[in-house]
Amino acid sequence: MLLLSCLLLVTAWRVLFVPSQPLWVDEAESGINALTILERGYPADHYLGVPIYENILLTTWPDSEEYEFKDASYSDRGMAIYHGWLPLYSIAAAYALSGIHSDRDDRGPPTVRHGSQELIRRTVVPRIPSILFATLFLGCIYHLGHRVSGCDTAWSVLVAAAFAHPIVSFGWQARYYSATLAFSALSGLAVWNLTRRRRWRDSVATGFALVLLFHTHSLSFLIVTAVLIADVPFTFKQPRCLSKLMLTGAVVALGIVPWMFWTGFLNAAAAIPSAWPLLAFPQDFFALRGLRLVKCSWAS
């Protein structure tokens, strides 16, 4: 009961930030992606007949008669691959439940389509899923701390996550941040249960949690998967260890591979240039660290 009361309290605190300021650039981008879902059923590269440009990484567009370049955030099939779909679909669901629909392309001159009150509503509604994900994150991080090191650790990590400024900020913005925290904590909890208990249902739960994390933030998915793989050598003595891990892998593959082929993710990802040739190790690592220290000292 105490945990539930604390979760409700910190969730209500995050709600206070929701109407405090307009959507910033990246939040508006996620809102547009969600509107394309309402329009086409998936996050598409066009809205109101105009291509969407999210990033400065562009590729040539030989199939277009009007545009020379297109955003590399989208595959050749016109589907978003740069951002995870789960947060975008959650925003689209919030739009749909609140009665917000995608605008129609009437091919007319640019006009003001919505008044001030409607813009306020379109600012608040896409942020609601992040509030829910923030509550899920806090609940998962509490239970993970409890499983790892007991009640004192659980309350310590809960209080730290509940009031740390970056975590609070991530918990109400209409982006993938809050969902990434939530499913990272959920995946961490699932991996811990699988490592310690090795039950068949833990294998399935870990697979589903990793699938949710992949469709939220692929880099976080790779990190948590690496943690799971690193734990394999220490669990060979468990009964049917490899079979349970293979079950987890099968669930992950079924939740990811068909999507990759359907969206054209593999071809699009292969066309994105790698950053490794531009980096020099270990010099760049220390240079980046020094730059961050300078920025922190300047900000303070």
pLDDT tens-place string over residues 234-249: 766 677 778 888 899 9
Per-range mean pLDDT, top range of 15-19, 94-98, 105-109: 94-98
Per-residue pLDDT at 183: 97
CB 39 within 8 A of CB 48: no
Q: Is 297's pLDDT higher than 60?
A: no
Q: pLDDT tens, 152-180?
A: 899 999 999 999 989 999 999 999 999 99
Task: Kindly give, in sequence order, each residue whose CB lies less than 8 Å from that of residue 19, ignoring residues fewer than 6 positions away.
Answer: 120, 123, 124
> Could you report the per-residue pLDDT of 42-62, keeping only the tens digit for each?
999 888 888 888 877 888 888
* Residue type at 218 in one-letter notation: S
Q: Which residues pair with 51 in a beta bridge?
A: 46
pLDDT of residue 288: 66
Average pLDDT, the chain: 87
State residue 218's pLDDT score.
92
- Could you check whether the bond before residue 282 is cis, i.e. omega within 30 degrees of 0? yes
What is the structure's pLDDT at 299?
46
User: In degrees rounded to 5, what are phi and psi of residue 145?
Assistant: -60, -35
- What pLDDT does 170 receive? 93
Task: Give the CA radius of gyration of the chain.
Answer: 21
| Predicted model pTM | 0.87
Residue ranges of domains in the chain: 22-127, 129-278
Mean pLDDT, to the nearest integer, of 100-110? 79
